[in-house]
Structure 1
Amino acid sequence: MKKWHLWLAASIGLVVIAGMMIREFDIAALSKIHLSSQFFLGVGIAVLLFAIQNLMYTLRFRYLSQRKLSLSQSFRINVLCEFTSAVTPSAVGGSGLAFVYLNREGMTMGRSIFTMFAALLADEAFLAISCCVLYLCVPSDQLFCTASDTGATVSSEWLKGGIHVVFLISTLIVTAWTAILYVLLLHRPQLLGWVLKACCKIPGLRRFQPKIERFSNDMTLASQEAKLEGSRFWLRLMGYTSVAWLARFAIVAAILFAFQCQGDMLIAWCRQWVMWMISVLSPTPGGSGVSELMFRLYYADYLPDASVAILAAMLWRAIFYYPFLVMGTVVLPKWIGKRL
């Protein structure tokens, strides 16, 4: 494969991204936006929060690599992981290929797999803990409120109840997954291997035996790396992870501030957890479509009308989602080209 083939693919990707934005753009809503200093300040804060989020993830990869990766390498891996998340269903995410990216950057397979599982464990632990705290501390009528609740219709009650149930199911799934990752990484790395090997005894699944053997060995290597780290290591890892997620979720508050919205910005920030946990179950790449719909529904009580809500949703996605598509289509061909 020649490099120009990769750049051609990247160019096509950028054209598709532009087409998506143009298709969903509502020109009539522009007249309702006040291009005041507050608008530009809010957008500037949102961009700054996006930068903080990616800085924390970059530092996290560098920290997990024991500083063997440079900042540019760590940033590149972060972009590749986020790009993978943006083009795959939310449940798949980009962490699954992190060890490939890390190994290609020169890290040992054991450390690469450990870094992947440690980062995944930190992310899932943050979401599990913060969602439980949020559910206990924030009144449900504010956390799961929708703009249509003011009409008190049967459909809105079903919708509100549905959001509530999906949030609880997602939180339970993430909590269970966190516990499994913890046990596999720090205590019983061979446990999953035993289960999968038992499944391979079923006729038709025996051909997966070699891959299961490699996976079991990889988990053992990752566990050995994990046991070398102390509590200080894990606390610092959770620090990077927490700041990254808090900055990611705070972007929406900056967008609402830019549109001069009235309402409790702390509640608006808390609703981001609900939106994220719902998008986890979305089958679309990066939660596309579901996230925009949830934004328009969930923050309609903060915005004056539906057209402005659509524009705010597009600006929100343009700041924290589309940049990864653009950066990924630029970085990925160059990254693959250097290794062909």
Structure 2
Amino acid sequence: MKKWHLWVAASIGLVVIAGMMIREFDVEVLSRIELSPRFFLGVGLAVLLFAVQNLMLTLRFRHLCQRKLSIAEAFRINVLCEFTSAVTPSAVGGSGLAFVYLNREGISMGRSIFTMFAALLADEAFLAISCCLLYFCVPSHLLFSLADGDGISTDTTNEWIKGGVQVVFIVSTLIVVVWTAILYLLLLHRPQILGWVLKGCCKIPFLHKFLPKVEKFSEEMTMASEEAKLEGGRFWLQLMGYTSLAWLSRFAIVVAILVAFHCQGNMLVAWCRQWVMWMISILSPTPGGSGVAELMFRLYYADFLPDASVAILAAMLWRAIFYYPFLVMGTLVLPKWIARN
């Protein structure tokens, strides 16, 4: 493949991204924006939080690889992983190809696989712990429904929405908790268990052809586990520190957007609702939760925003800051990375 073929593909990707943004653009709604110092402060803060999120993820990759990657290389890995997440269903995510990206950057296969599973374990552990804390510490009438500072309406539709959102949140949280426990067990204690189960499944005639791949995967899990056992408690605490700051910054972007639009209400509640939105979006079959995330934003923050049209604009700006940049950066970085590797 020639390089100009890759750049043509990148250009097509950028055109598609521009088309997505133009489709959501509304001049009439745009005219309602009050371009005050507070608006620019909120947008600037959102961009800063986005930068902090990516800095923490970049440092996390460098930490997991024992500083064998430069800042630029670790940032490139982060962009590629986030780009993969942005163009695949949320349940798939970008972690699945992290070991490929890392190995192509010169990291050993064992360390690459360990980095992939350790990053995934840290993400899932953060979500599992924080979601459980939110559920038991934040009143449900604030977390799962359209609420104002004094209470909520008893509208039947609102109660139906609250019940549905709460059920999905609980189910998603339970799935994440179980998945975290499985990852912990496989990575740090019994990496061979999954191999045994999968090999047993391969005894079924029509699955027998997958046995070589299962055996290879089992060996890779053992390699990752051996790498994990070499690290001490300080390593894991530092990993959770980077992970927590990245997620907290990601979820705080919405607060900055609400500040930009002069929204009223409890911003701590608005921040907490980001956990609920994320846990719902991970069940979305669309790439990066597209469609579901925007719909949830307009519905979930309607009590903070003055009207529906402003909510649409706020949702577009929110996605433009934390979602579209990964599409742009990934479209630019991936062709170069493929050509180089």
Do these two structures clear the TM 0.5 threshold for a shared fold by scoring above it? yes
Q: Is the 8 A contact 1:142 1:267 kept in 2?
A: yes
CA distance in 1: counterparts of 2:212 and 2:25, whole angstroms: 50
| Structure 1 position 262 matched with structure 2 position 264 | yes
Q: 1:204 is paired with a residue of what secondary structure?
A: helix
Q: How far apart are the structure 1 equivalents of 2:283 and 2:156?
A: 25
- The answer to whether the Cα contact below 8 Å between 2:145 and 2:161 also exists between their aligned partners in 1 is no
SS in 1 for 2:69: coil
Which residue of structure 2 lines up, in the alignment, with residue 154 of structure 1?
Answer: 156
Match of 1:220 in 2: 222
Kept in 2, the 8 Å contact 1:147–1:297? The answer is no
- Looking at structure 1, the residues matched to 233 and 171 of structure 2 have their Cα atoms a distance apart, in angstroms, of 30
Percent identity between the two aligned chains? 79
Shift of 1:276: 0.2
Post-superposition shift, 1:203? 1.1
Q: Residue 326 of structure 2 corresponds to which residue in structure 1?
A: 324
- Separation of aligned partners in 2, 1:85 and 1:24: 22
1:125 aligns with 2:125: yes
Task: Determine the C-alpha separation between the residues in 1 that align with 2:93 and 2:192.
Answer: 24
**Structural mapping, 1:165-184, within 5 Å:** 165-184=167-186
Kindly state the Cα deviation for residue 246 of structure 1 after the two structures are TM-superposed.
0.2
Structure 1 unmatched ranges of 5 or more: none
**Corresponding residue of 1:229:** 231
CA contact 2:91–2:282 (8 Å) conserved in 1: yes
Match of 1:144 in 2: 144
Question: What pairs up with 1:41-120 in 2 under 5 angstroms?
Answer: 41-120=41-120
Helix, strand or coil at the partner of 2:287: coil
Which residue of the partner structure matches residue 313 of structure 2? 311
**What secondary structure, in the 3-state scheme, does the structure 1 residue paired with 2:205 have?**
coil
Deviation for aligned residue 1:257: 0.3
1:147–1:300 Cα contact (<8 Å) kept = no
User: Distance between the aligned counterparts of 1:200 and 1:17, measured in 2?
Assistant: 42
1:26/1:307 contact within 8 Å kept: no
Residue deviations 1:202-235 (CA, integer Å, cap 9, x gap) = 0110000000000000000000000000111000
Shift of 1:193: 0.3
**Retained in 1: the 8 A contact 2:298–2:311?**
yes
Consecutive unaligned residues in structure 2, runs of 5 or more: none
Q: Determine the structure 1 residue equivalent to 2:28.
A: 28
Structure-2 separation of matches of 1:151 and 1:130: 27
Q: Deviations over 1:61-110 (max 9, x none)?
A: 00100000111000000000000000000000000000000000000000
| C-alpha contact 2:126 2:244 (8 A) present in aligned 1 | yes
1:17 aligns with: 17
Deviation at residue 153 of structure 1 after TM alignment: 3.3
Amino acid at match of 2:267: M
Aligned length: 339
CA distance in 1, matches of 2:144, 2:31: 31
Contact persistence 2:141–2:152 (CA under 8 A)? no
Secondary structure in structure 2 of the residue aligned to 1:188: coil
Equivalent position SS for 1:302: coil
Q: Secondary structure at the match of 1:116?
A: helix
Contact 1:147–1:298, Cα closer than 8 Å, also in 2: no
| C-alpha spacing 1:222/1:106, structure 2 compared with 1 (3 Å) | same
Among 182, 195, 201, the residue aligned to 2:203:
201
In the alignment, the residues of structure 2 paired with residue 56 and residue 255 of structure 1 have an alpha-carbon distance, to the nearest angstrom, of 21
The two structures have a TM-score, normalised by structure 2, of 0.98
Find the aligned partners of 1:299 and 1:147 in 2 and give their Cα distance.
9
Seen in structure 2, the aligned counterparts of structure 1 residues 296 and 147 have a Cα distance that, compared at 3 Å, is farther
Whether the 8 Å contact between 2:73 and 2:105 is mirrored in structure 1 is yes
Q: Which residue of 1 aligns with 2:283?
A: 281
